Copies of this chain bind each other. A is one copy, B any other.
């Protein structure tokens, strides 16, 4: 009999709006046992994502609420340590919805993809070669369709998704303008991620006017993770035929939709397209998109930044920090190390 226990972070109470550290607590349970076709996986790293804000609320949206008392839902990368699957072997490194814990049982169905740890640091499987990359690619390339000479504006531009989206637009020949929340992040956008211009929306006195100045030919593509008044300011500057990819709505809570200026007439007059999408609808393309992103990383055309907290118990604080916009780069939490990690 093993003495190893499974430390897990549960949602101990439901936040009214943004989650705090007090909504989480650490518990222990037995290490789970895989059934036929399943694997036992040791979790190496956890991804901290904006969507978590919605997952812990009472109101269901695109995922049912995490029940109070359950392990916090989360994406992670894990190593197979015991296998009753014909598809995955001991030693395989895989991404999946693992939850905030040390061990989990996975099946062929809920493993997203196998990760090659010699290819890139395993953290990238949660970021630019994982959900971050899918989110940026589908929204910017497939909905936004940036073309040479067009202008693409990106919200949360210094963040993991936004910085990738901006660089993808530039790779397609667009002029890129980032919206971000501090002067430090403005510098990151310009110096690290190669945006042609960047605006600190928190210090802007008139965002629509500042966007007009930064986008003299108008805005052809908007990669929107924010919604609300920032979207309104962008809409005042869109060109005919503009495309707006709705990747997130961090300015509003699922159960508290604000009022705003109606947008349907603007979409009509500008013959504009607005489309919401979720990366999770495209997980079956994870391999294809990761290969594209890896190519651009290796050629030096796509840069990313990470912020990795060192312990499982740091996950709630990392989430709060991300939701407050304090993180610089893709946020992840280290849970354990694998011998297979050579980077």
Residue of B nearest to A280 (CB): B271
Indicate if A291 sits at the interface (CB-CB under 8 A): no
- CB of B281 within 8 A of CB of A276, answer no
Per-residue 0/1 for A47-80: is the Cβ within 8 Å of any B Cβ (1 yes, 0 no)? 0000000000000011000000000000000000
Given contacts A260-B259, A262-B227, contact A268 B274 (CB under 8 A): no
- CB of B274 within 8 A of CB of A274, answer yes
In the complex, chain B residues whose CB is within 8 Å of the CB of A220: none
Q: Which of B254, B264, B271, B274 contacts A224 (CB 8 A)?
A: B264
- CB of B264 within 8 A of CB of A246, answer yes
> How many A residues have CB within 8 A of the partner chain?
35
Indicate if A261 sits at the interface (CB-CB under 8 A): yes
Q: Which of B265, B270, B277 contacts A254 (CB 8 A)?
A: B265
State the Cβ distance, A143 to closest chain B Cβ, in Å.
9
- CB of A265 within 8 A of CB of B252, answer yes
In the complex, chain B residues whose CB is within 8 Å of the CB of A265: 61, 227, 249, 252, 254, 257
In the complex, chain B residues whose CB is within 8 Å of the CB of A257: 261-262, 265-266
Copies in the complex: 2
State the Cβ distance, A149 to closest chain B Cβ, in Å.
20
The docked-state distance in angstroms from the alpha carbon of A268 to that of B258 is: 15
Indicate if A273 sits at the interface (CB-CB under 8 A): yes
Indicate if A263 sits at the interface (CB-CB under 8 A): yes
Indicate if A329 sits at the interface (CB-CB under 8 A): no
The docked-state distance in angstroms from the alpha carbon of A273 to that of B267 is: 11
Indicate if A231 sits at the interface (CB-CB under 8 A): yes
Indicate if A126 sits at the interface (CB-CB under 8 A): no
- CB of A261 within 8 A of CB of B264, answer no
Given contacts A227-B264, A260-B260, contact A273 B271 (CB under 8 A): no
- CB of B264 within 8 A of CB of A249, answer yes
Indicate if A275 sits at the interface (CB-CB under 8 A): yes
In the complex, chain B residues whose CB is within 8 Å of the CB of A231: 264
State the Cβ distance, A263 to closest chain B Cβ, in Å.
7
A/B interface sample: 11 pairs, CB < 8 A: A62-B269, A227-B264, A257-B266, A260-B262, A263-B263, A268-B278, A271-B278, A271-B281, A272-B275, A272-B276, A273-B275
> Measuring CB to CB, which residues of chain A are less than 8 angstroms from any residue of chain B?
61-62, 224, 227-228, 231, 246-249, 252, 254, 257-278, 281
